[in-house]
Amino acid sequence: MSRNKKNIIINDVEVADAGAEGNAIVRVDGMVVFVPYVVPGDIIDLNIFRKKKNYAEGRAIALKRPSPLRVEAPCKHFGVCGGCKWQMMDYASQLKYKQQQVRDALERIGHLDTSGMLPICGADKQYNYRNKLEFTFSSKRWLSADEIRDPEDPGDVGFHVPGVFDKVLPIRECHLQGSPSNEIRNSIRDYALEHKLPFYDIRNHTGFLRNVVIRNTSTGELMVIVIVAEQRNEWLYPLMDFLKEKFPQITSLLYIINEKMNDSYSDLEVFTYSGQGYITEQMPRPFGGDPLRFRINPKSFYQTNSEQAFKLYSHVARFAELKGDETLYDLYTGTGTIGQFLASKCRQVIGIEYIEAAIEDARLNASINGFDNCTFYAGDMAEVLTEEFVQRNGKPDIVVTDPPRAGMHDKVIAQLLNIRAPRIVYVSCNPATQARDLSLLSEAYDLGRIQPVDMFPHTHHVENIVELTLRNKK
Ligand code: SAH
């Protein structure tokens, strides 16, 4: 081991495990060191550059012997982009470590019994699985250490590098969304350079092109939203005409004028330049019949991996074991997709969701799908899900809950313990907060089956479904 003031270098250490946030774990003298972009089984030279009380952070400065779990990362942006931290690990190992992440969270954080854990549900499609990507134009290109900034550089289009808000990593090919996602993004860039449309500078609030959002469906519909900083029709309209002509497969060509300081567009008007103002995704019905149809507006949430969303919902349906006469609450319903997936197998669905526009979509989609037994309410869960609400809507026989990463509010958990629905199916995109919530719910509920699902291959993210059954049913 050699040391200087800040850095410690350790030669020939083995990477032990895969840990939180996609970093691997190396153990040095009992201390955990988090290291990105290495795989369990790699032998590396390790540079520890930051030491905290309970752990340290490091980087691999040499790969001495690659792990048998290693594969060639196909993406040329791998290692800088930060989007797919596990591309260099074979898919079977990714699944193994995701499953372990769920088990560790439930056991260590929640002190829960994980004997009901089923093998993780993997994805058939490990690339081009996303139905939505958003790219940012920036007058400042992210440069690697050996590049020097050219004052004439117009900037580029790509993804934000983690932790750098004003620069983008130029992306030429992203493997997460199918064709023509890359062609559209690259064409807008080339067009802008040729026609001297300036890229946006978020520090000085100058420039024109801000973002492009590309959404597609399994049925071939394609939405492109171009977001610009000001209404300059002499720049905007020729660009939109160019896209329309070059990509006739675009079914929904939209634009947004964002004059604000930040990139969020949830509060801005969306203009339809050509085609329809929405796209429609289809999903097979779990209990037979024509596919479900979900109209997706430019601002609507829809699960970003459609194929895996079907599998996720199918596992929810399996755990729900509906007979047909149930009142089902779908908490954090978004655009009501889980509720509608299950609606034909229960008496009524009650969906609750924060975002008013999502609830409007949920209502519209329920009518498109021919359901008259779904009722959706907009509001904050902690405020809406009250005793009075339950009295008015009927006591749930089953609750499906799918909260955001932060998990459920204490008040919501207290209310669920008060409502005492015989069964709960808890869907989560964050096993750590799920473990915390389950531990509180375990006061009255037993954990049954546990089904992790991989929605995002090559990332460390994992979705998990847990079945809960009320003890001492009265
Ligand atoms: N179940 C849906 C969406 C889940 S995402 C689907 O499968 O598509 C989680 C949802 O919770 C989001 O739509 C978000 O808007 C909503 N949400 C977040 N905080 C909330 C709160 N406090 N009250 C109600 N809904 C909330």
Query: Looking at the structure, do residues 119 and 136 belong to the same domain, yes or no?
Result: no
Of all protein residues, the one whose alpha carbon is nearest to atom 18 of ligand 1 is 404
Of all protein residues, the one whose alpha carbon is nearest to atom 20 of ligand 1 is 354
Query: Looking at the structure, do residues 120 and 65 belong to the same domain, yes or no?
Result: no
Q: 472: buried, middle or exposed (CB in 10 Å: 19+, 13-18, 0-12)? A: exposed
Question: Residue 58 is part of a domain; what is its CATH number?
Answer: 2.40.50.140
Please work out whether the CB of residue 377 comes within 6 Å of at least one atom of ligand 1: no
Query: Looking at the structure, do residues 17 and 103 belong to the same domain, yes or no?
Result: no
- Whether 342 is in a domain gets the answer yes
Of all protein residues, the one whose alpha carbon is nearest to atom 3 of ligand 1 is 334
Question: Residue 180 is part of a domain; what is its CATH number?
Answer: 2.40.50.1070
- Whether 461 is in a domain gets the answer yes
52 close to 28: Cβ distance less than 8 angstroms: no
Model pTM score: 0.94
In three-state secondary structure terms, 50 is strand
pLDDT of residue 291: 97
Positions annotated as catalytic residues are 429
Q: Which atom of ligand 1 is nearest to the CA of 381?
A: 23
Please work out whether the CB of residue 339 comes within 6 Å of at least one atom of ligand 1: no
pLDDT of residue 411: 97
Radius of gyration from C-alpha coordinates of the chain:
24
454 close to 92: Cβ distance less than 8 angstroms: no
**pLDDT by position in tens, the chain (length 474):** 444 456 899 999 999 999 878 899 999 998 999 999 999 999 999 999 999 989 999 999 999 999 999 999 999 999 888 789 999 999 999 999 999 999 999 999 999 999 999 999 999 999 999 999 999 999 988 877 667 777 788 888 998 877 788 888 899 999 999 999 999 999 999 999 999 999 999 999 999 999 999 999 999 999 999 999 999 999 999 999 999 999 999 999 999 999 999 999 999 999 999 999 999 999 999 988 899 999 999 998 999 999 999 999 999 999 999 999 999 999 999 999 999 999 999 999 999 999 998 999 999 999 999 999 999 999 999 999 999 999 999 999 999 999 999 999 999 999 999 999 999 999 999 999 999 999 999 999 999 999 999 999 999 999 999 999 999 765
φ, ψ (nearest 5 deg) of residue 238 = -60, -35
Query: Looking at the structure, do residues 136 and 120 belong to the same domain, yes or no?
Result: no
pLDDT of residue 455: 98
Please work out whether the CB of residue 381 comes within 6 Å of at least one atom of ligand 1: yes
Query: Looking at the structure, do residues 425 and 323 belong to the same domain, yes or no?
Result: yes
pLDDT of residue 2: 47
- Whether 344 is in a domain gets the answer yes
Query: Looking at the structure, do residues 237 and 318 belong to the same domain, yes or no?
Result: no
Please work out whether the CB of residue 316 comes within 6 Å of at least one atom of ligand 1: no
Structure tokens at 462: 């994992």
Query: Looking at the structure, do residues 116 and 204 belong to the same domain, yes or no?
Result: no
Q: Distance of CA 316 to CAs 116, 399, 427, Å?
A: 15, 11, 8
Query: Looking at the structure, do residues 25 and 47 belong to the same domain, yes or no?
Result: yes
CA distance 291 to 217: 13
- Whether 86 is in a domain gets the answer no
Question: Which of 234, 264, 280 represents a domain boundary (last residue)?
Answer: 280
Of all protein residues, the one whose alpha carbon is nearest to atom 22 of ligand 1 is 380
Please work out whether the CB of residue 396 comes within 6 Å of at least one atom of ligand 1: no
Distance of CA 211 to the CA centre of its chain: 19
Q: Please compute, for residue 341, the number of CA atoms within 13 A of its CA located in the half-sphere on the CB side.
A: 23
Question: Which of 280, 296, 322 represents a domain boundary (last residue)?
Answer: 280
Q: Which atom of ligand 1 is nearest to the CA of 309?
A: 7
- Residue among 421, 377, 428 at smallest CA distance from 399: 421
**C-alpha of residue 352 to centroid of ligand 1, in Å:** 8
pLDDT of residue 164: 80
- Whether 146 is in a domain gets the answer yes
Query: Looking at the structure, do residues 348 and 449 belong to the same domain, yes or no?
Result: yes
Please work out whether the CB of residue 211 comes within 6 Å of at least one atom of ligand 1: no
Of all protein residues, the one whose alpha carbon is nearest to atom 1 of ligand 1 is 333
Query: Looking at the structure, do residues 309 and 449 belong to the same domain, yes or no?
Result: yes
| Domain extent for 22 | 2-70
φ, ψ (nearest 5 deg) of residue 397 = -80, -25
Please work out whether the CB of residue 380 comes within 6 Å of at least one atom of ligand 1: yes
Q: Which residues contact 147 (CB under 8 A, 6 or more apart)?
A: none
**C-alpha of residue 257 to centroid of ligand 1, in Å:** 27
In three-state secondary structure terms, 450 is strand
Among 294, 300, 354, name the best residue to mutate to test ligand 1's pocket (greatest count of ligand atoms within 8 A of Cβ).
Answer: 354
Please work out whether the CB of residue 355 comes within 6 Å of at least one atom of ligand 1: yes
Question: Which of 54, 70, 86 represents a domain boundary (last residue)?
Answer: 70
Of all protein residues, the one whose alpha carbon is nearest to atom 16 of ligand 1 is 332
Query: Looking at the structure, do residues 114 and 234 belong to the same domain, yes or no?
Result: no
In three-state secondary structure terms, 99 is helix
**C-alpha of residue 266 to centroid of ligand 1, in Å:** 15
Please work out whether the CB of residue 401 comes within 6 Å of at least one atom of ligand 1: no
Place of tokens 């660009």: 239
- Whether 410 is in a domain gets the answer yes
Among 294, 295, 353, 425, name the best residue to mutate to test ligand 1's pocket (greatest count of ligand atoms within 8 A of Cβ).
Answer: 353
- Whether 77 is in a domain gets the answer no
Question: Residue 397 is part of a domain; what is its CATH number?
Answer: 3.40.50.150
Please work out whether the CB of residue 358 comes within 6 Å of at least one atom of ligand 1: yes
CA distance 209 to 137: 6
Q: Which atom of ligand 1 is nearest to the CA of 355?
A: 15
Looking at the structure of the chain, the number of domains it has is 3
Q: In this structure, what is the dihedral angle of CA atoms 55, 84, 262, 222, given to the nearest 10 degrees?
A: -160
DSSP states along 310-363: HHHHHHHHHHH---S--EEEEET-TTTHHHHHHGGGSSEEEEEES-HHHHHHHH
DSSP letter (8 states) at residue 89: B
Query: Looking at the structure, do residues 267 and 354 belong to the same domain, yes or no?
Result: no
pLDDT tens-place string over residues 290-310: 999 999 999 989 999 999 999
- Whether 289 is in a domain gets the answer no
